Structure 1
Amino acid sequence: MIARLAAASLAGLLTATSAQADLSYKVLSFQDLEGWEKDDHASALQVFLNTCMDMDQVDYSALCAVAETIENPRAFFELFFRPVLIEEAGKEALFTGYFEPELDGSLTPTARYRFPVYAKPREAKGQWLTREQIETGETMKGRGLEIAWVDDPVELFFLQIQGSGRIRLPSGAHLRVGYGGNNGHKYRSIGQELIRRGIYKSHQVSAQVIQNWVRRNPIDGTALLRHNPSYVFFRKVTRVSPEKGPLGAMNRSITALRSVAVDPKYTPLGAPVWVEKDGEGPMRRLMIAQDTGSAIKGAQRADIFFGTGDTAGKAAGRLRDPGRMYVLMPIQRAYASVLEEEQ
């Protein structure tokens, strides 16, 4: 009841809108958020608490202390925040998905586990050896640079694209690896190469399609993977238990279907965001902006974390949908953003 009264007292301001050049801010009511009342706000609050203490913004961090003592999670968000729609002229919203790969591997090489996951050599500076030279040459061998060995070179290639992942060991234990550097060569898309060769149309290409084609064509598939000269090295990640989610941009574990990667130019890392994803399997959910990505650029661009493993990977790979995303800002910040744009 208190939250609804507080919202009603600002009803005259809830339609405040501002625009400057190609960027606009609009402050809304929680009643404008489709499905808001049906979400699990307690789950979202727990994810918010995982990173809010690390936020640089004083107003957000102050609310973090309040969140520790809150009894009604939905009332907390409604009392202290306002949803803000930030849009760029001419740019449509786009939601994609990402996941943490999980590979089968071993700490020692065997007949099955024979593809090494390498740490970065000290001399690998600037533009170093190509992928093909690393995989076929002798430079890496016998130096103890192998973190583990996995059983599938295709999955290892996609692990390098993701930049981090988890390796399931024969004992049932897990080893997490994170990005440890690269060989300095520019990434070439093997999906685009398949299109160039006329093997697939652009709308047909996905990670699963590429993986299947490489496995069906082992010789040509190996050559296709080496079309991309870029090579990623790894490091062991020991700061967080492998049983928890991977580390996001805030160096805290992220949570499946509650953590989202955003462009920090528009959305503060750690801020709650309300996601209204349309398309197949519509999603209406409160998430926390806890990660970033090189391809995540724009006020309405977001990458939803789906979790770890093949099931998460398939779900993430299918996602490319429109919708809207609203940033939950502390009340003063929400209206200040509009006033600043009007000046």
Structure 2
Amino acid sequence: MRAKHVNQLISLAAVLLFSFSCFSISRMAQTSNQLTNCRNHILEFKKNILHLKNKTEQSRQELMGALNKIKDNIRQRENVSVNFVEREVDTFDENEAMPNTFEVLKSFLPHLRKVGRIYPDVIISKEKTGVSFALGVPTVQREDHGYLKQTLTSLVSRMTHEEAQDSVVIVSVADSNEDYLKSVVDMITKKFKKQLKSGSLEVISIPQFFYPDVLHAKHSPEDSQTFESWRIKQVLDFCFLMLYAQPKAMYYLQLEDDIIAKKMYFTKITDFVHSITSDNWFYIEFSVLGFIGKLFKSEDLNDFVRFFLMFYKDKPIDLLLGDIFQVKLCHPGETPEKCAERNKQIRIRYKPSLFQHVGIQSSFPGTEQYLKDIYY
């Protein structure tokens, strides 16, 4: 009986152990399946994260590409074109009439009679016209130092917004060196974007065919002919710039590329011109030096250019400016005193001078000059 009870207990224990084993195995299998499922979820999560990362990187690259494209478009508009009008001599249509203002050149420079059209090689311009003042700044390369950026900064920074709208500054590159032309254009497009965009600053380049053959000949710096050629070319450079500026404005102010202007210079010029009651003035001097700061009525520029071209081989242009007064305005038989008195009335000098010469390195090679306006 006792043995029977023992056997029953053993059987019960075996059944319980078997049941527990089955339960444990079932739980372990369930846990394994859960672990497998979890691992699969983790792998799928990693896959989704990687896909999202790749998609984010692709989106970032697409966004950066779009931004770079926008930047390139802005850079191209501001630094390259700024809606510029670029012309060269051979880009005019065959049926397009040559600007009449340059026709006068053919009367005094016979070699130009073979040229169909006369116009600047390069124009960076909004073709601004109908303004009150055009400011002419001829420039050539100097040996060691250039003053053009300083000059332009002085001129444009000392204008009000309204004055800039009613004027145009014309830089005329009168140099055959293409590297210098490029350096001028690069400097201006980088430093004076606002003025270029508004049309208040232009750049032109005088074509080499404009100059007579004598100016293309090579001379040593010590040769006297070198200085004569430099002086002759300077007169022609001024004439070309005057003719280009003439149709643009009511008044033309002649400057140089190595000067600075006084504060409010433009306001003072405008107020002074408007204060003159008589229209019978010849020109106004806003500097006593050379050809700097001379203001002309644009309607008179053709007469001045004709006279300069008649004697461009004989004298510097500032001396010719005095001669034209004697020829045109001193009457035959008139006493020198009467002529001198009229001179004061129609050749008007403004004091103090509004422009100062700052260049030391002359545009004539190997020469330094220390000219200063004592009335500045």
Give the TM-score band, short-chain normalised. Answer: under 0.3
Report the TM-score when normalising by structure 1.
Answer: 0.20
TM-score, normalised on structure 2? 0.19
- The answer to which structure has the higher helix fraction is 2
Larger RCO: Structure 1 or Structure 2 (Cα < 8 Å, ≥ 6 residues apart)?
Answer: 1
Greater fraction of residues in strand: 1
The higher radius of gyration belongs to: 2
